[in-house]
Amino acid sequence: MKALIVLEDGSVLHGKGFGAADKSAFGEFVFNTGMTGYQEALTDPSYNGQILMMTYPLIGNYGCTMPENGHLPLEWQSNKIQAEGFVVREYCPLPAHRLATKTIDGFLKEQDIPGISEIDTRALTIKTRQYGTLKSIIATYTGSAPDTKKLLETVRQTPSPDTTNLVGEVSTPALVNEKTEERKNGKTAVSPALMREKIMVVIDCGVKNNIIRELVTRGCSVVRAPYNISAAEIDKIKPDGILVSNGPGDPAHPEIIATTVKTIKALAGKYPMFGICLGQQILVLAFGGKTYKLKFGHRGANQPVKNLQDGKVYITSQNHGFAVDPKSCPKELEITGINVNDGTVEAMRHKDLPIFSVQYHPEASPGPWDSKYLFDNFIELCLNEPTSKR
């Protein structure tokens, strides 16, 4: 099977197709520099609306894991592939791993996602680095090649995925109690530090499963809430804390401003809050700050973040195309972490209220586990917060 990729600047690259046959997909072209974790990345809802390229040339070496008895394996960050298409230099048809039950090709086929290989991925990385993120179409074909001129026209005419409410596409439609399911799995180890179970509301803007797992393994009862949940509905749950999750797209999308940002604004000071990735941007917007789109974002597992409070450097997992504008930082918020490479805002906290956030992914999956302690910090924050406030 053949495949091609068309970028909005008119570039056309030809390669070998894999995954879904005779299928084309539109998305924003982004690259991820992680050398492992392709399955976690593909299923990360933050990639909704994007065509994902791995810069590491050999992808699929350790295959893919598949659900067993209805339970999602740890690699799965949601119940499906979220990226629109997948671009690699070479995919591995014969994976060697004890847990692999499918090839990457098989996984993409099953999920009906097109993939393209035999592409000069480094050239495309350099292009993206130089010109910024581009819109693109990837198409696999078994017959004659699609008309590239037409495809280019489509790419150019289709509005940027950011203009749609991408969060709405990946968020849970209704409240889900995550605790019971995880317990059935036998994965819960209640921390003895917890005197009683804590109830956490996770506002699902496209939450990665591992965020929920990290809370559940710490003994929390997690309620996954739709992104557009109202403040009143959250009050009804009486949570000990609120986690605003990661997610795709522009945090300043009108739909988000009208829903999630509004809810957070209403609840600030009432509950301890923890924002992750898009969650941090939503918190900032709620306090009157601004966000902006990065030239090509941070996607990988090696981003160094300097914690301005203890002076230490943490290697973090990241996946974001938007960032907090430090100049717009509301005065009640304080920047507590910056990216060592480019100085962008990586962590913030409220000067008075039990609210903090990070731009990176402490839940890892994929990426380093160095920042998992933040979940402990969050739970501790919830424990220390007098319930009398509510």
Partner 1 sequence: MPKRTDLKKIMIIGSGPIIIGQAAEFDFSGSQACRSLKEEGYSVVLANSNPATIQTDLEIADRTYIEPLTVEIVEKIIAAERPQGILSGMGGQTALNLCSELAEKGILEKYGVELLGTPVQAIADSEDRDLFRETMLSINEPIPKSFACNSLAEVKAAVTKIGGLPVIIRPAYTFGGSGSGIAHNNEELLEIVERGLLYSRIKQVLVEECVSGWMEFEYEVMRDKNNNCIIICNMENLDPMGIHTGESIVIAPAQTLSDRDHQLLRNASLKIIRALNIQGGCNVQFAVNPATGPSDSESKLSSGRTCDYRVIEVNPRVSRSSALASKATGYPIARVAAKIAVGMTLDEIPNSITGKTYASFEPALDYVVLKIPRWPFDKFRTVDKRIGTQMKSTGEVMAIGRTVEEALFKAIRSLETDRIAFELTPGSLKALVSELVEPTDNRLYAIAEALRQGYNITTICDLTKWTKFFIDKIWNIIQSEKVIQSARKEDEAKTIAALDRETLNAAKRLGFSDEYIAYLLGIDNELPVRARRKEFGILPDYKMVDTCAAEFDAATPYFYSTYENDIAKYEMRNANLSGANSPIRNPQSAMSKVLVLGSGPIRIGQGIEFDYCSVHAVMAAREQGLEAIIINNNPETVSTDYDISDRLYFEPLAFEDVVNIIDHERPDGVILQFGGQTSVNLAIPLQAELDRRPDLPTKILGTQAKQIDIAENREKFEELLNRLNIYRPPAGTGYSFEQVREIASGIGYPVLVRPSYVLGGRGMEIVHNEKELEFYMTGAVKASKQHPVLVDKYLTNAIEIDVDAVCDGTDVFIGGIMEHIEEAGVHSGDAICVLPPQTLPERIIKQIREITRELALNLKVVGLTNIQFAIKDDTVYILEANPRASRTVPYVSKAINIPLAKLATRVMITPLLPPDKQFSLKELLTLINQGIRSGGTKIFMENGCYGINIKHTAIKAPVFPFQKLPGVDYILGPEMKSTGEVMGIDKTFDDAYYKSFLAAGNSLPMTGSVYITVRDGDKDKIIPIARKLKQIGLDIMATAGTAQFLKNYHIDVETIWRISERKTPNALSLMREGKVKLIINTPTEGSGPQRDGYRMRRLAVEMGIPFITNIAAARAAVNAIQTMSGQNKALAVKAMQDYF
Minimum CB distance to partner 1 smaller for 124 or for 323: 124
Q: 260: which DSSP letter?
A: I
- Three-state SS for 107? helix
Work out how close the CB of 243 gets to partner 1 at its nearest, in angstroms, rounded to a whole number.
20
298 flagged as catalytic: no
Do residues 121 and 31 touch, judged by C-beta distance below 8 A? yes
- Which positions from 115 through 144 interact with partner 1, judged by CB under 8 A? 118-127, 129-131
Helix axes 373-384, 209-217, angle to 10 degrees: 60
* Residue 13 touches partner 1, criterion: CB under 8 A: yes
Residue among 64, 277, 329, 382 flagged as catalytic: 277
CA distance 286 to 153: 38
Residue of 8, 28, 182, 363 with catalytic role: 363
7 in Cβ contact with 136 (< 8 Å): yes
Q: Is 92 a residue of the active site?
A: no
Q: Binder to partner 1 among 367, 375, 378, 382 (CB under 8 A)?
A: 367
Restricting to residues 293-352, name those near partner 1 by CB under 8 A: 300-304, 306, 311-313, 315, 340-341
Tell me whether residue 252 or residue 340 sits nearer to partner 1 (CB atom): 340
191: tokens are 């921390």
The rounded distance, in Å, linking the Cα atoms of 164 and 251 is: 11
The residues in 157-196 that bind partner 1, with binding defined as CB under 8 A, are 185-187
Alpha carbon distance 293, 286 (integer Å)? 18
Task: Please identify, using beta-carbon distances, which residue of 147 and 369 lies nearer to partner 1.
Answer: 369
Gap between the Cα atoms of 127 and 16, Å rounded:
20
Query: Which residue, among 329, 340, 167, 335, has the nearest Cα to 260 in the 3D structure?
Result: 167
Q: Which of residues 227-286 bind partner 1 (CB under 8 A)?
A: none
Judged by CB under 8 A, the number of residues near partner 1 is 71
**Does 40 participate in catalysis according to the annotation?**
no
Write the DSSP symbol of residue 194: -
Name which of residues 77 to 96 contact partner 1 (CB under 8 A).
Answer: 89-90, 92, 94-96
Binding mask 30-69 for partner 1 (x = CB under 8 A): -x-xxxxx-xx--------------xxxx--xx-------
Catalytic amino acids?
277, 361, 363
